[in-house]
Each structure stands twice: as C-alpha cells, then as structure tokens.
C-alpha cells in the first residue's frame, strides 16, 4: 500500500514533491555554506597575513651571547624553517666622490647579510640595479650620495678610521620599518623611524670591518637572528595561529632569558588580523541567516500548497476503510522520501561549495624571490 501510494504521488504530484525537495536542498546548502565560508575566509586571511611578514621573529642577541646556543633554543621552541644571522652597526656617515665633488650624508646603518639572505627571506630586498653579490646600497642612500654601481663609498665608523667599499648593486628595502625596528621596546612605545642611509655588506666583510668597532663602541653594534617559522602546522584561523605563535614566542623567551630579546613580528600581524576575522564571521552570519530563513519559508509554503488536497485524499481513504495508523504511515513515508531526497541533494551541493571555496584558502600568495 505504501509503495503504491508513493508511486501515485510521483506520477500525479511530482512537481510539488520536487519543489519541496529542492527547497530542503537549498536550505541545507545555505547552512553548509554558512559554516564553510567563515572558516575559508579565516584561512585566507591567515595565509595572507603570514605571507605579508617576511621575518616572523627578530631575535636580538645580548653582547657576548652564544649564537649556537640561541639557534638551538629557537629550534627547540618552535618549528623553524630558516634562521639568518644579521649584523647591524651604526655609522657616523657616508661619503662618495662623484665627478670631482664630495657628497656626504648624516648617520646611518651598515647591515651585514649572509650570502643567501635575499633568496631565503624574499620580500626583504628588491634588486634595482647591478648584482646581488657584494656591497649593496639602499635606493635613498644612492640618491643622497649620487652614486651608482662601481662607485666607491666611504663608511665613517665612530671611534675608528673610515673604510671604503665598492658598490655592486642598488636595492630597495620594502620592509624597512620592520627591518630596523627597535627590539625590546615596551608595549605602546612610539615606533622609531627607519634610517635614511643604509649600506648592506656581506656578513664576512661586515665582521672584519665592525668587530673592531664592537670592541670600542659595543653600544653601536648588535647581532640579530632573523627567523622564519614553518607555517604548514599553523592553525587555519587567525586566533588559533596567533595563540600558537605567541605561546612559541613565550617558550623561546623563557629559554633565552638574559641572552636575547624577541620581536614577534608575526604575532603582531596576526593580532591585527584576528579582529578582522571575527568581524567577517559575524558579517557572514547576519547576511546568510536571512537567506536560510527565506529558503525554509519557501519550502514550507510549497509543502502547504497541497494541504487541502491531502486532507481530501485522506478523507477518501478513511471512507474506504483506511485506519488512522495507515494514514500516518503514508504521511511518514512521503516525508521520509522527500526529506531524504532533499537532504541528500543539499549535502552534495554543500560539499561541492565547500570544495570549491576551500582550496583558495589553503594556498598562501606566492612572493617573488630576490
């Protein structure tokens, strides 16, 4: 009897049944999208925030600290992808002789970089002219000194004799504010302006020129470890990623207390993105719920459109001897078939939407190497 009843409904009431099933499928698909879109957008925001920070941690060594011990402590505290030792030294000024005239600048910074720094930490340097191997001069400094590739620049060292280097390339520093930040400032302190004049040397040459300056003026020379973490194990949402990297930073600080100071660049970036992620989730929820309610109301309206006809059919069945239990079984069978069909279609559609949205959030933007 139930089979015959369902077969008759499919033959005579197929449009109404398909409409109800489609409404259920649409409602379920919208609910699935509401759960997938916030997580996908959060993952995309996390990936973009991570990709926008070329150096996750800047660890400034205390004079006399053992670099190898600190490197091992960093590797034990967090999953490390790369570590680069960078030297910073104060210079009293720079000079260059161009076409018989002497050009000079005010104080600046001389940075010592490993040979593979630009390729290991893309986004820190952008080569404009010349070659990346050798002495590099920042674009603003080259403009101040009117120098180009092949010119000689004199570095005025405080407390020591000046030294001369030959320019091999001109570079731009896209993240100059972060690269020259003052590590260890208390929270809320005003950020310091980056130097106007910067010369970058290979780390071996930098050590030969500025290790003597460190003995005379230890306050003018410092070393930093620039660390990039392995991001594959990070949580996909900004809040989870922020908690992860902050806990790892605190773990490192406890291991190297008194030997170095940590600047958590990635944590600061994720902290800013975390609020945006929460706002986006709330916005999606408020924008999506009306659509879900509208789909549910339309489904209810389609289902109710045949209420009068269904009552007449049930009355005819009762006059022909059908029991109340049989009528309940027929109604339940119809609901199970229509609801099951709509739920299956809705689940499949929601799964397709999730698969379509999710891959875009799993791939962080690529950065151009040096």
pTM of the model: 0.70
Do 199 and 118 share a domain, yes or no?
Answer: yes
Do 244 and 344 share a domain, yes or no?
Answer: yes
Write down the residue that tokens 């799993």 correspond to.
Answer: 362
Query: Does residue 293 belong to any structural domain of this protein?
Result: yes
Residue 304, H or E segment? helix 265-304
Do 221 and 149 share a domain, yes or no?
Answer: yes
CA-to-CA separations, 9 to 4, 318, 323, 335, 343, in angstroms, rounded: 9, 18, 20, 12, 19
* pLDDT bucket at 296, cuts 50 / 70 / 90: low
- Domain coverage including residue 213: 80-229
Do 175 and 154 share a domain, yes or no?
Answer: yes
d(C-alpha 265, C-alpha 78), whole Å: 15
Query: Does residue 141 belong to any structural domain of this protein?
Result: yes
Residue 367 confidence (pLDDT):
36
CA atoms within 13 A on the CB side of 116: 4
Q: Please, what is the average pLDDT of the chain?
A: 79
Do 240 and 193 share a domain, yes or no?
Answer: no
| Domain final residue pick, 178, 208, 229 | 229
* pLDDT bucket at 145, cuts 50 / 70 / 90: very high
Query: Does residue 238 belong to any structural domain of this protein?
Result: yes
pLDDT tens readout for residues 40-82: 677 777 888 888 888 999 999 998 888 889 999 999 988 999 9
Query: Does residue 70 belong to any structural domain of this protein?
Result: no
Query: Does residue 99 belong to any structural domain of this protein?
Result: yes
Query: Does residue 290 belong to any structural domain of this protein?
Result: yes
Check pLDDT > 60 for residue 213. Answer: yes
pLDDT tens readout for residues 149-194: 999 999 999 989 999 999 999 999 998 888 898 887 665 555 677 8
Do 203 and 238 share a domain, yes or no?
Answer: no
* pLDDT bucket at 330, cuts 50 / 70 / 90: low
* pLDDT bucket at 34, cuts 50 / 70 / 90: low
Query: Does residue 66 belong to any structural domain of this protein?
Result: no
Non-local CB neighbours of 204 within 8 Å, separated by 6+ positions: none
Cα Rg, the chain, nearest whole Å: 33
Higher pLDDT, 84 or 314: 84
Query: Does residue 260 belong to any structural domain of this protein?
Result: yes
Do 103 and 143 share a domain, yes or no?
Answer: yes
List phi, psi (to 5°) of 58: -115, 115
Check pLDDT > 50 for residue 361. Answer: no
Q: Where are the beta strands (DSSP E) in the chain?
A: 57-61, 80-91, 93-98, 101-104, 108-113, 126-130, 135-138, 152-156, 163-172, 198-202, 221-229, 260-264
Structural domains in the chain (count): 2
| Domain final residue pick, 206, 229, 252 | 229
* pLDDT bucket at 362, cuts 50 / 70 / 90: very low
């Amino acid at each position: 009897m139930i089979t015959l009843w369902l077969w008759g409904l499919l033959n005579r009431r197929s449009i109404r049944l398909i409409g109800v099933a489609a409404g259920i499928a649409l409602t379920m698909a919208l609910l699935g999208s509401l759960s997938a879109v916030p997580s996908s957008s959060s993952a995309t925001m996390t990936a973009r925030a991570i990709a926008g920070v070329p150096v996750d941690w800047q660890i400034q060594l205390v004079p006399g600290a053992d670099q190898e011990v600190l490197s091992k402590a960093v590797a034990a505290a967090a999953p490390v992808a790369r570590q680069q030792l960078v030297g910073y030294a104060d210079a009293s000024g720079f000079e260059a002789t161009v076409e018989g005239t002497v050009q000079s600048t005010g104080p600046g910074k001389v940075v010592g970089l490993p040979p593979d720094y630009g390729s290991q930490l893309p986004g820190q340097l952008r080569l404009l002219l010349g070659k990346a191997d050798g002495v590099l001069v920042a674009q603003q400094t080259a403009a101040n000194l009117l120098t180009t590739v092949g010119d000689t620049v004199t570095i005025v060292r405080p407390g020591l004799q000046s030294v001369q280097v030959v320019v091999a390339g001109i570079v731009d520093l896209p993240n100059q504010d972060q690269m020259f930040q003052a590590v260890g400032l208390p929270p809320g302190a005003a950020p310091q302006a980056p130097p106007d004049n910067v010369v970058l040397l290979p780390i071996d040459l930098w050590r030969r020129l500025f290790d003597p300056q460190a003995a005379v003026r230890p306050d003018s020379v410092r070393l930093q470890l620039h660390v990039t973490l392995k991001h594959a194990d990070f949580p996909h949402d900004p809040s989870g990623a922020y908690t992860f990297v902050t806990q790892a930073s605190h773990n490192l600080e406890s291991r190297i207390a008194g030997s170095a100071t940590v600047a958590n660049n990635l944590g600061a970036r994720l902290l800013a993105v975390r609020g945006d992620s929460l706002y986006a989730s709330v916005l999606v929820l408020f924008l999506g719920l009306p659509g879900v309610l509208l789909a549910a109301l339309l489904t209810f309206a389609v289902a109710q459109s045949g209420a009068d006809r269904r009552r007449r059919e049930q009355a005819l069945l009762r006059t022909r001897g059908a029991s109340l239990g049989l009528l309940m079984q027929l109604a339940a069978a119809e609901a199970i078939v229509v609801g099951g069909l709509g739920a299956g279609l809705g689940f499949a559609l929601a799964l397709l939407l999730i698969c379509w949205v999710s891959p875009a959030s799993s791939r962080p933007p690529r950065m151009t190497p040096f």
